[in-house]
């Protein structure tokens, strides 16, 4: 009995040590980014590096703002990511629901075709998409950034797996009570999927938030730039404006961090939910 407890304690100690070391390893670059955001460029380039915060944060921020309209880029990114996330969550949930709960012809082939598009890297899609967008006159618009990515294969897959766990009897009884199919989806299926929706929202938000090459090609006016596109302008051919990049990167993770803090509980259970086969 005591032996067992001892072994548990050792095990726990090892687990925690490992987790703490890994956490520190991941925190160090973040910490350095935030410290660097407060240093003037000369001090950033100092060697050995300075590891405690300086006082130049607002100076760096002011220069950043002069150079890039960065506040506008933050707004653009937030706007695009939020609109995209809301629309895409809705679309993916509906598709997932259909694939999980309805029978229709070619259901399986269609589903696996959608899944198969996962193997296409974004880089491959940029040029054909750019051509399509310029043919319909959508270049330099937000809708061109949002609409082509709405049907997200990962999202459809995730929602299909999770929707499968809804008991058919529940849907059946709703039908008997006279609910329309959309009401069943909206009133019964979706609320039951709250944690999966939260997980999907984070995944989709992050996808859109990090998208670089595509918006770079589509967006032309610097007033329309998203954060990654605006950041790319800070890298010059013979010098990189580290001070501004660090400030910008520090600001850029804030919305992401807020979203994750709000949704983190649901995120973990949402990701795990589809992993068990009943």
CA torsion sign for 210, 216, 219, 221 is positive
Task: Determine if 66 is a binding residue for another protein (CB under 8 A).
Answer: yes
Task: Determine if 120 is a binding residue for another protein (CB under 8 A).
Answer: no
CA distance linking residue 132 with residue 126, whole number of Å: 10
Report, in Å, the least distance between residue 164 CB and another protein. 32
Task: Determine if 251 is a binding residue for another protein (CB under 8 A).
Answer: no
Report, in Å, the least distance between residue 86 CB and another protein. 11
Dihedral of CA atoms 175, 179, 180, 185 in degrees, nearest 10, equals -90
Nearer to another protein, 111 or 207 (CB): 207
Report, in Å, the least distance between residue 136 CB and another protein. 9
Report, in Å, the least distance between residue 116 CB and another protein. 24
Report, in Å, the least distance between residue 146 CB and another protein. 7
Among 108, 168, 177, 236, binds another protein (CB under 8 A): 236
24 to 53: interface string for another protein, x by CB under 8 A:
-----------------xx-xxxx-x----
Report, in Å, the least distance between residue 255 CB and another protein. 16
Nearer to another protein, 32 or 186 (CB): 32
Task: Determine if 63 is a binding residue for another protein (CB under 8 A).
Answer: yes
**What does DSSP assign to residue 189?**
I
Report, in Å, the least distance between residue 67 CB and another protein. 6
Nearer to another protein, 138 or 157 (CB): 138
Report, in Å, the least distance between residue 230 CB and another protein. 9
Task: Determine if 59 is a binding residue for another protein (CB under 8 A).
Answer: no
Query: For the residues of 221-263, what is the DSSP string, one character each?
Result: SGGG--HHHHHHTTB-SS-B-HHHHHHHHHHHHHHHHHHHHHH
Task: Determine if 210 is a binding residue for another protein (CB under 8 A).
Answer: no
What tokens does 186 get? 């909206």
Task: Determine if 54 is a binding residue for another protein (CB under 8 A).
Answer: no
Q: Which residues contact 161 (CB under 8 A, 6 or more apart)?
A: 96, 100, 273, 274
Task: Determine if 221 is a binding residue for another protein (CB under 8 A).
Answer: yes
106: left (phi > 0), else alpha (psi -120 to 50), else beta? left
Residues touching another protein, count (CB under 8 A): 48
Count CA atoms within 13 Å of residue 48 on its CB side: 2
CA distance linking residue 43 with residue 185, whole number of Å: 57
Long-range contacts of 16-24 (CB under 8 A, 24+ apart): none
Nearer to another protein, 129 or 193 (CB): 129
CA distance linking residue 222 with residue 163, whole number of Å: 42
CA 113 → CA 88, 107, 151, 258, 270, distances in Å? 19, 10, 13, 35, 24
| Residues engaged in binding another protein (CB under 8 A) | 41-42, 44-47, 49, 63, 66-67, 69, 71-72, 75-76, 79, 83, 126-127, 130-131, 134, 137-144, 146, 213, 216-217, 220-224, 229, 232-239
């Amino acid at each position: 009995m005591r032996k067992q407890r001892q072994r548990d304690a050792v095990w726990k100690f090892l687990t925690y040590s490992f987790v703490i070391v890994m956490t520190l390893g991941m925190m160090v670059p973040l910490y350095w980014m935030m410290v660097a955001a407060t240093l003037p460029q000369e001090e950033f380039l100092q060697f050995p590096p300075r590891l405690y915060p300086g006082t130049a944060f607002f100076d760096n921020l002011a220069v950043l703002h002069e150079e890039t309209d960065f506040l506008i880029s933050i707004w653009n990114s937030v706007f695009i990511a939020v609109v995209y996330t809301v629309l895409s969550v809705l679309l993916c949930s509906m598709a997932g629901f259909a694939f999980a709960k309805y029978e229709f012809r070619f259901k399986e082939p269609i589903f696996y075709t959608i899944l198969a598009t996962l193997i296409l890297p974004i880089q491959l899609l940029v040029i054909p998409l750019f051509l399509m967008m310029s043919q319909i006159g959508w270049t330099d618009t937000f809708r061109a950034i949002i609409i082509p990515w709405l049907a997200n294969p990962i999202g459809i897959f995730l929602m299909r797996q999770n929707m499968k766990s809804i008991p058919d009897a529940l849907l059946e009884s709703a039908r008997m009570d006279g609910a329309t199919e959309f009401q069943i989806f909206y009133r019964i299926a979706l609320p039951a999927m709250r944690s999966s929706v939260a997980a999907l929202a984070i995944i989709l938000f992050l996808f859109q938030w990090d998208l670089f090459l595509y918006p770079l090609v589509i967006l032309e006016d610097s007033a329309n730039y998203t954060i990654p596109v605006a950041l790319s302008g800070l890298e010059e051919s013979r010098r990189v404006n580290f001070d501004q990049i660090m400030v910008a990167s520090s600001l850029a993770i804030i919305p992401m961090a807020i979203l994750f803090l709000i949704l983190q509980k649901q995120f973990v259970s949402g990701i795990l939910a589809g992993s068990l086969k009943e």
